[in-house]
């Protein structure tokens, strides 16, 4: 018999809705998550998630490090920590960013966050007044939209092309907003191997966006969860590395190069911004898990991170290649897709007129799932795109999944022509 809770959901006299804040009444479960629940526990090949492959987790190394932490650092690792983070970890990240990305900072420029998602929420909390203009790429990371949305900004999205955000259109928009007396609080960009589009902002545009930031006086939130996952092409420096003005807040994470289960992210930027973010973090979770921070410190400081990255790259590259090849082999004319040099995602655009949200159930019936593209737009204006993930399932399944997806799209095209 199913456990009966004393809450007695059905018969409850309590009018629970009257207790919710206005903002809570507006909060809705993400439609995308609801759609994806259809896929759970089924034989559907899911290209929808955004998860790293568990095969890339350095399990043995974590086992060794954890034993060392228990043996030598238990009193510290198990205790409360400071809100800005465990100092040795902050120092290790500072050194690593210097070596890897030519970003020159000190530990006062850095706060540890409970994953990148907390970084996004803290940025919303510290910077956004209701009605403030926030600019993002079109499309952009859906959970960033969700985090910022709570703070009620006016969202503006600027299209991407193969070189990242269209700087010409951005400048046009900035002029237009200025003429309307509106100033922009920040531009949010996933500058390398973008989520969901997979594209990378060119060096030229990186420098241009910094100039615009200075000219129009806004800050840049540079989110870089995927930068280490490069399978082809040449390395590129983060925008932050050219930031002479303290205008860039850089978001990093270990979720893709260690494991998401530890929830370790960080924000690097001007100490005055970091200090305010720290005060905000005090009241939302006091501190990020010290235990996990000490493990992360040992992972970076012991050189394991640098050794692990090539292994992850080697594991994912064939999967990206398999997806690109399958798209080439199976997709009908009129379907376009991006060719990412790294990261986790490919953005597929079906012919105009196809609504990928409406098509979703048919795809699932054929045994494949994706994320319908409209969730990556604050105003849901693009209906015919979708995000595909290539890191989680095997090459064979990727090929089979793309074949099923191509079939679904072909049927939709056919139907739309009748």
* Interface of this chain with its own copies, residues 170 to 189, rule: CB under 8 A: 185-186
Q: Which of 1, 14, 381, 417 binds its own copies (CB under 8 A)?
A: 14
- Measured from the CB atom, is 146 or 194 closer to its own copies? 146
CB of 41 to its own copies, least distance (A): 13
Per CB under 8 A, 77 contacts its own copies: yes
- Kindly determine how many residues on this chain lie close enough to bind its own copies according to the rule CB under 8 A: 101
Per CB under 8 A, 403 contacts its own copies: no
Which stretch in 106-114, 310-318, 336-344, 379-387 sits in contact with its own copies by CB under 8 A? 106-114
Which stretch in 16-24, 227-235, 317-325, 397-405 sits in contact with its own copies by CB under 8 A? 16-24
CB of 250 to its own copies, least distance (A): 11
- Binding positions for its own copies, 212-231, rule CB under 8 A: 217, 219
What distance in Å separates the CA atoms of residue 121 and residue 148, rounded to the nearest whole number? 7
- Binding positions for its own copies, 52-71, rule CB under 8 A: 52, 54, 57, 59, 62-63, 66-67, 70-71
Classify residue 416 as left (phi > 0), alpha (psi -120 to 50) or beta: alpha
- Binding positions for its own copies, 261-300, rule CB under 8 A: 261-263, 269-273, 275-276, 279-280, 282-292
By CB neighbour count within 10 A (0-12 exposed, 13-18 middle, 19+ buried), where does 240 fall? Answer: buried
CA atoms within 13 A on the CB side of 341: 17
Tokens of 235: 């390395």
CB of 187 to its own copies, least distance (A): 12
Per CB under 8 A, 358 contacts its own copies: no
- Measured from the CB atom, is 229 or 324 closer to its own copies? 229
CB of 142 to its own copies, least distance (A): 10
Per CB under 8 A, 87 contacts its own copies: no
Strand pairing class (133-138; 154-161): parallel
CB of 406 to its own copies, least distance (A): 29
CB of 413 to its own copies, least distance (A): 35
* CA–centroid distance for 257 within its chain: 14
Task: Spell out, one character per residue from 22 to 51, where the chain touches its own copies: x when CB under 8 A holds, - when not.
Answer: xxx--xxxx--x-----------------x
CB of 176 to its own copies, least distance (A): 21
CB of 234 to its own copies, least distance (A): 23
Classify residue 8 as left (phi > 0), alpha (psi -120 to 50) or beta: left
- Measured from the CB atom, is 246 or 334 closer to its own copies? 246
Q: Which of 84, 117, 338, 384 binds its own copies (CB under 8 A)?
A: 117
Q: Which of 89, 147, 197, 368 binds its own copies (CB under 8 A)?
A: 147
Per CB under 8 A, 7 contacts its own copies: yes
SS (H, E, C) the chain: CCCCCCCCCCCCCCCHHHHCCHHHHHCCCCHHHHHHHCCCCCCCEECCCCCCCHHHCCHHHHHHHHHHHHHHCHHHHCCCCCCCCCHHHHHHHHHHHHHHHCCCCCHHHEEEEEHHHHHHHHHHHHHCCCCCEEEEEECCCHHHHHHHHCCCCEEEEEEEECCEECHHHHHHHHHHHHHCCCCEEEEEECCCCCCCCCCCCCHHHHHHHHHHHHHHCCEEEEECCCCCCECCCCCCCCHHHHCCCCCEEEEEECCCCCCHHHCEEEEECCHHHHHHHHHHHHHHHCCCCHHHHHHHHHHHHCCHHHHHHHHHHHHHHHHHHHHHHHHHHHCCCCCEECCCCECCEEEEECCCCCCHHHHHHHHHHHCEECEEHHHHCCCCCCCCEEEEECCCCCHHHHHHHHHHHHHHHHHHHHHHHC
- Measured from the CB atom, is 123 or 335 closer to its own copies? 123
CB of 56 to its own copies, least distance (A): 10
CB of 227 to its own copies, least distance (A): 19
Per CB under 8 A, 72 contacts its own copies: no
What distance in Å separates the CA atoms of residue 179 and residue 159, rounded to the nearest whole number? 21
Q: Which of 31, 34, 162, 245 binds its own copies (CB under 8 A)?
A: 245
- Binding positions for its own copies, 184-213, rule CB under 8 A: 185-186
Q: Which of 87, 143, 202, 394 binds its own copies (CB under 8 A)?
A: 143
């Amino acid at each position: 018999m199913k456990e009966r809770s004393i809450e007695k959901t059905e018969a409850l006299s309590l009018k629970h809705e009257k207790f919710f804040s206005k903002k809570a009444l507006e909060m809705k479960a993400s439609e995308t998550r609801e759609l994806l629940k259809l896929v759970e526990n089924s034989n559907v090949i899911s290209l929808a998630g955004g998860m790293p492959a568990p095969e890339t987790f350095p399990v043995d190394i974590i086992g060794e490090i954890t034993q060392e932490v228990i043996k030598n650092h238990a009193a510290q690792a198990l205790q409360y920590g400071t809100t800005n983070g465990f100092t040795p970890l902050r120092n290790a990240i500072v050194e690593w960013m210097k070596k890897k990305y030519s970003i020159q900072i000190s530990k006062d420029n850095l706060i540890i966050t409970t994953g990148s998602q907390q970084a996004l929420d803290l940025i919303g909390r510290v910077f956004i007044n209701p009605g403030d203009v926030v600019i993002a790429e079109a499309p952009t990371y859906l959970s960033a939209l969700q985090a910022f949305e709570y703070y009620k900004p006016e969202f503006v999205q600027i299209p991407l092309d193969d070189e990242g955000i269209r700087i010409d259109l951005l400048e046009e928009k900035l002029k237009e907003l200025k003429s309307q007396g509106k100033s922009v609080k920040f531009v949010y960009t996933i500058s390398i191997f973008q989520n969901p589009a997979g594209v990378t902002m060119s060096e030229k545009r990186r420098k241009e966006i910094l100039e615009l930031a200075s000219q129009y006086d806004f800050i840049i939130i540079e989110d870089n969860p995927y930068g280490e996952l490069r399978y082809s092409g040449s390395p590129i420096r983060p925008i932050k590395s050219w930031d002479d003005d303290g205008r860039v807040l850089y978001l990093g994470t270990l979720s893709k190069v260690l494991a998401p289960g530890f929830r370790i992210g960080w924000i690097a930027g001007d100490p005055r911004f970091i200090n305010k973010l720290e005060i905000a973090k005090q009241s939302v979770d006091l501190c990020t898990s010290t235990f996990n921070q000490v493990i992360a410190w040992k992972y970076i400081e012991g050189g394991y991170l640098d050794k692990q990255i090539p292994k992850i790259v080697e594991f994912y590259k064939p999967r990206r290649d398999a997806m690109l090849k399958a798209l080439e082999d199976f997709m009908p004319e009129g379907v376009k897709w991006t060719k990412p040099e790294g990261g986790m995602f490919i953005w597929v655009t079906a012919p105009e007129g196809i609504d990928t949200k409406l098509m979703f159930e048919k795809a699932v019936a054929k045994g494949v799932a994706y994320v319908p593209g409209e969730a990556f737009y604050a105003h849901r204006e693009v209906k015919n795109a979708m995000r595909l993930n290539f890191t989680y399932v095997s090459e064979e399944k990727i090929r089979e999944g793309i074949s099923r997806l191509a079939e679904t799209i072909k049927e939709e095209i056919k139907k739309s022509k009748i």
